Amino acid sequence: MTARELDAAGITEPVLRDAYTRCRRLNARHGRTYFLATRLLPVARRPAVHALYGFARWADDIVDSLDPGVPPHHRAAELALLHERLERGLRDAHARSDRDGDGMGDGVGRGAGGGAGDGDRVEPVVLALADAARRYAIDHRHFSDFMASMRSDLEVTAYPTYDDLRAYTHGSADVIGLQMLPILGTVVPREEAAPHAAALGRAFQLTNFLRDVGEDLDRGRLYLPADLLGAHGVDRELLSWSRRTGRRDRRITEALRAFEDLTRGVYREAAPGLVMLDPVSRPCIRTAFVLYGGILDAVARDGYAVLHRRAVVPRRRRATVAVDGLVRLTAARAAAARAAGAGARWSGPPEPDAEPAAGHGPAAVTAPPHPLHPLHEEVA
């Protein structure tokens, strides 16, 4: 986290600044396209987005660990402890908000790490998330729903129907969009934009499911609905055979194409929500929207060979989208300054971060997460 972002957000307490900084590092390291898109947001809003990403990444890493030395029951216990710390952190943040009155105070109490023992410790990602939730009044139910889907990943390895998958993606993807909405801001009542924000989170995750079907099989999971696969004569055994041997099958190609069509339909559900966002937030989300949609193009262009290799959005395309986002942001900021009146001063195009991560400039755009699900995948 750059000092400029933290100062702009009014985050002054050293423990909180360190917590947000750790979340930013997770974003820069794991969510490269998402990290780039976040840099198109107003400076003061970036720390909260990094906090959402950092927490989701943390939970996702617990669930997706492939370390054979980490037994499933240990991951379940670690996830349960994280959830316990999350609930405590949210309660403490809410109590501070009530005590401070304006909900934007920076005080950090015992829940920030001042407990007597390690069991009382709150992870920095939890501290940052709880503070961001307090500042933007994010509904705590979204975090509970997210953790429920993370727990599901430790127990559920397949989904019979798309409706079954939708129950899972509500917590793992829809709520990510809903968490983001208060930070992004809207020009319509929030409840009007909410269904589109949820659909966008879901579209991103369905895209990841298609691109990462082979890697998910390696983890023992299959997110593509069994009824969709079965309609084309495909089952887990056939997918595993293709993954293991490197051989192709026309039935698999047709099933993957059908899942792509389903996913593009969800993007169409999400698209009307872009213009409902605060104009200065639109370039960020539009950039992610275009880049994630580009994954589907890359999958199709590669002949749906996702069981054998990862589809990659071409570097030139990523760079073009990033530059377009920067141009749109510059125009949005200029328009906002004009609307503020003759006395408003426009500071010009957005400045680069004081401490950019290597390879994250506009000419080297890569892309978001395995959600983190929607917020936790890379396009490239």
**More confident position, 66 or 194:** 194
Mean pLDDT of 119-141: 87
Instruction: Output the pLDDT for position 119.
Output: 39
| Band of pLDDT at residue 279, cut at 50, 70 and 90 | very high
Mean pLDDT of 93-98: 74
Instruction: Output the pLDDT for position 311.
Output: 80
Kindly report, residue by residue over 142-162, the tens digit of the pLDDT.
Answer: 999 999 999 999 999 999 999
Length of the chain: 380
d(CA 239, CA 254): 13
Mean pLDDT of 54-71: 80
What's the sign of the alpha-carbon dihedral 48, 54, 56, 59? Answer: negative
Kindly report, residue by residue over 238-259, the tens digit of the pLDDT.
Answer: 999 999 999 999 999 999 999 9
Mean pLDDT of 23-33: 77
d(CA 195, CA 174): 9
pLDDT mean across residues, the chain = 81
Mean pLDDT of 73-84: 90
Q: Is pLDDT of 105 > 70?
A: no
Task: Give the rounded percent of residues in the chain with a pLDDT score beyond 70.
Answer: 73
Q: Is pLDDT of 352 > 50?
A: no
Instruction: Output the pLDDT for position 360.
Output: 32
Its pTM surpasses 0.85: no
Instruction: Output the pLDDT for position 375.
Output: 37
User: What is the Cα Rg of the chain in Å?
Assistant: 21
Mean pLDDT of 79-106: 77
Cβ burial 290-320 (10 Å sphere, 16+ → b, else e) = bbbbbbbebbeeeebbbbeebbbbeeebbee
